[in-house]
């Protein structure tokens, strides 16, 4: 295809097809080719495309009130969305702050944590701890806390210093003879070890994805891991920030992924499924203690963006959340996720080059290996994940692949995150096409 675009696309070596319209599971390009969106872009489109109730809400809000600056006004969609979100938020979370996406939300969470400690008389708490093989966004603060080595490398000289500890990734790092629970305790202990490496009162927060997303591929925590993490944070006065940008808002079968772990964070970061792609939106939810400390101190969160609490974005997200809660879509995630798990196991459970099938809800990944018995990855120069993406797209299937699964260089995985509206027949088609794509990529 001749390059006629003047957009700085993700790749400057090829022009992507131009999407023309979308409905439900399907996206259609300008040439009429149809693609089953089995990954929601990046686990975003949880309601599918062109959901009529959300489309109507956006149209109505644009005509009613398009934009106001939060320095002058609040707006009704934002107030109603906040009330809806906090009604069933994890225990203790009492306030919310709306931004335009996940990276912005992570930046806001870092700043809120820092200001909280300054205002409570602990300005020495400046260090953040996160995990290797994590991803928290592409702005400089989010990249700094993220553990995606490939994405960090170019900008490393610009990033603040952050400690990175062990991930909770049982398939790759659990020792032989070690139970999942024992492994979880060992992985969590790396956080306490790192806290103790620094002078008392200098660590502000620990940031982690509840279920790891793009960098390692739908990695759920082992039982007991996050309860131990919560206990360590409490004992050392460290805030726990959970990033559920990808795994939250129903994607893993519960509205908030941390619910399944029996814990609540001090700050929760959400995006993607919050607005389901109909408008750009993200948010942080924070405890009354954090917000109250700032209210009683300076009285103002020293942070802001032009599009905070955008009326149209909040109206879209409110319509999405009503569909999840009242339209029965959240209740579909568990049963449909079980169907997807069974289909993946049937197709790839004995596949010579699929080492692990993992996930939760409608958030599943397969990890590709050169040797199942040793878990040896493929040579990264082969770029197998990219080949799978190309072969899938050629078959009218959109998947979310990534390389560097193990350490930022080695490993390949492919993630599926279909909409909550997906049917059993559509799931069977998705897995069938993925199987064809994997086998075709391996044969090259």
DSSP characters over 145-176: H---HHHHHTTGGGSPP-EEE----HHHHPPT
Spatial distance between the Cα atoms of 233 and 164, rounded to a whole number of angstroms: 15
What is residue 4's predicted lDDT score, i.e. its pLDDT? 83
Beta bridge partners, 70, equal: none
> Residue-wise pLDDT tens for the chain (444 aa)?
456 899 999 999 989 999 999 999 999 999 999 999 999 999 999 999 999 999 999 999 999 999 999 999 999 999 999 999 999 999 999 999 999 999 999 999 999 999 999 999 999 999 999 999 999 999 999 999 999 998 999 999 999 999 999 999 999 999 999 999 999 999 999 999 999 999 999 999 999 999 999 999 999 999 999 999 999 999 999 999 999 999 999 999 999 999 999 999 999 999 999 999 999 999 999 999 999 999 999 999 999 999 999 999 999 999 999 999 999 999 999 999 999 999 999 999 999 999 999 999 999 999 999 999 999 999 999 999 999 999 999 999 999 999 999 999 999 999 999 999 999 999 999 999 999 999 999 999
Strands (E) in 40-169, as ranges, are: 93-99, 127-131, 163-165
55-326 belongs to CATH 3.40.640.10: yes
Give ranges for CATH 3.90.1150.10 in the chain: 19-50+328-443
Answer for the pair 18, 10: CB distance below 8 angstroms, yes or no: no
Give ranges for CATH 3.40.640.10 in the chain: 55-326
Spatial distance between the Cα atoms of 174 and 164, rounded to a whole number of angstroms: 18
What is residue 3's predicted lDDT score, i.e. its pLDDT? 64
Answer for the pair 364, 402: CB distance below 8 angstroms, yes or no: no
Spatial distance between the Cα atoms of 108 and 339, rounded to a whole number of angstroms: 37
Cβ atoms < 10 Å from Cβ of 147:
26
Spatial distance between the Cα atoms of 314 and 256, rounded to a whole number of angstroms: 19
The phi and psi torsions of 94 (rounded to 5 degrees) equal: -130, -10
Spatial distance between the Cα atoms of 437 and 36, rounded to a whole number of angstroms: 14
Spatial distance between the Cα atoms of 233 and 229, rounded to a whole number of angstroms: 6
Spatial distance between the Cα atoms of 141 and 159, rounded to a whole number of angstroms: 7
Spatial distance between the Cα atoms of 289 and 283, rounded to a whole number of angstroms: 18
Residue 26 DSSP SS3: strand
Largest alpha-carbon pair distance within the chain? 64
Residue 208 DSSP SS3: strand
Spatial distance between the Cα atoms of 141 and 110, rounded to a whole number of angstroms: 8
Answer for the pair 250, 46: CB distance below 8 angstroms, yes or no: yes
Q: Is the pTM of this model over 0.75?
A: yes
Residues 6+ apart with CB under 8 A from 295: none
What is residue 2's predicted lDDT score, i.e. its pLDDT? 53
DSSP 272: G
Answer for the pair 430, 347: CB distance below 8 angstroms, yes or no: no
Write down the H helix ranges in 44-169.
52-64, 76-87, 102-119, 140-145, 149-153
Residue 39, class by beta-carbon neighbours within 10 Å (0-12 exposed, 13-18 middle, 19+ buried)? buried
Spatial distance between the Cα atoms of 22 and 400, rounded to a whole number of angstroms: 18
Listed residue (340, 439, 349, 356) closest to 391, CA to CA = 439
Listed residue (81, 69, 42, 72) closest to 285, CA to CA = 81
Phi-psi domain of 23 (left: phi exceeds 0; alpha: psi -120 through 50; beta: other): beta
What is residue 1's predicted lDDT score, i.e. its pLDDT? 44
Beta bridge partners, 402, equal: 413
Answer for the pair 362, 422: CB distance below 8 angstroms, yes or no: yes
Q: Write down the CATH number for the domain with range 19-50+328-443.
A: 3.90.1150.10
Looking up tokens 């919310």 gives 96
Spatial distance between the Cα atoms of 48 and 22, rounded to a whole number of angstroms: 9
């Amino acid at each position: 295809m001749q390059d006629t675009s003047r957009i700085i696309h993700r790749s400057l070596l090829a022009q992507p097809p131009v999407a023309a319209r979308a409905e439900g599971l399907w996206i259609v390009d300008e040439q009429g080719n149809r693609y089953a969106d089995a990954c929601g872009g990046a686990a975003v489109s949880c309601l599918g495309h062109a959901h009529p109730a959300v489309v109507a809400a956006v149209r109505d809000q644009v005509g009613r009130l398009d934009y106001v600056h939060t320095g002058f006004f609040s707006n009704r969609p934002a107030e109603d969305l906040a009330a809806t979100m906090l009604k069933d938020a994890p225990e203790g979370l009492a306030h919310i702050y709306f931004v335009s996406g996940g990276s912005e939300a992570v930046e806001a969470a870092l700043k809120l944590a820092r200001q909280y400690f300054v205002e409570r008389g602990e300005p020495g708490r400046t260090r953040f701890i996160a995990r290797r093989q994590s991803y928290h966004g592409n702005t400089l603060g989010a990249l700094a806390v993220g553990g995606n080595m490939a994405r960090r490398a170019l900008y490393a000289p610009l990033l603040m210093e952050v400690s990175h500890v062990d991930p909770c990734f049982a398939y790759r790092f659990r020792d032989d003879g070690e139970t999942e629970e024992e492994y979880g305790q060992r992985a969590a202990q790396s956080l306490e070890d790192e806290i103790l490496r620094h002078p008392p009162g200098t660590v502000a927060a620990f940031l982690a994805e509840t279920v790891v997303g793009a960098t390692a591929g739908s990695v759920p925590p082992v039982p007991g891991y996050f309860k131990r993490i919560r206990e360590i944070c409490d004992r050392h006065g460290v805030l726990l920030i959970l990033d559920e940008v990808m795994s939250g808002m129903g994607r893993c079968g519960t509205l908030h992924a941390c619910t399944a772990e029996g814990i609540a964070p001090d700050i929760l970061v959400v995006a993607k499924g919050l607005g389901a792609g109909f408008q750009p939106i993200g948010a942080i939810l924070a405890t009354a203690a954090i917000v109250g400390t700032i209210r009683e101190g300076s009285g103002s969160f020293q942070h802001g963006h032009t599009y905070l609490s955008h009326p149209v974005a909040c109206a879209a997200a409110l319509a999405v959340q009503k569909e999840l809660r009242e339209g029965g879509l959240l209740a579909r995630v568990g049963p449909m996720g079980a169907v997807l798990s069974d289909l993946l196991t049937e197709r790839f459970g004995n596949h010579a080059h699929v080492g692990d099938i993992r996930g939760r809800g409608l958030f599943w990944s397969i990890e590709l290996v050169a040797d199942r018995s040793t878990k040896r990855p493929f040579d990264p120069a082969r770029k197998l994940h990219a080949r799978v993406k190309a072969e899938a797209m050629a078959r009218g299937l959109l998947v979310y692949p990534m390389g560097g699964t193990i350490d930022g260089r080695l490993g390949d995985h492919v993630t599926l995150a279909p909409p909550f509206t997906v049917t059993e027949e559509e799931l069977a088609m998705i897995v069938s096409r993925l199987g064809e794509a994997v086998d075709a990529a391996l044969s090259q």
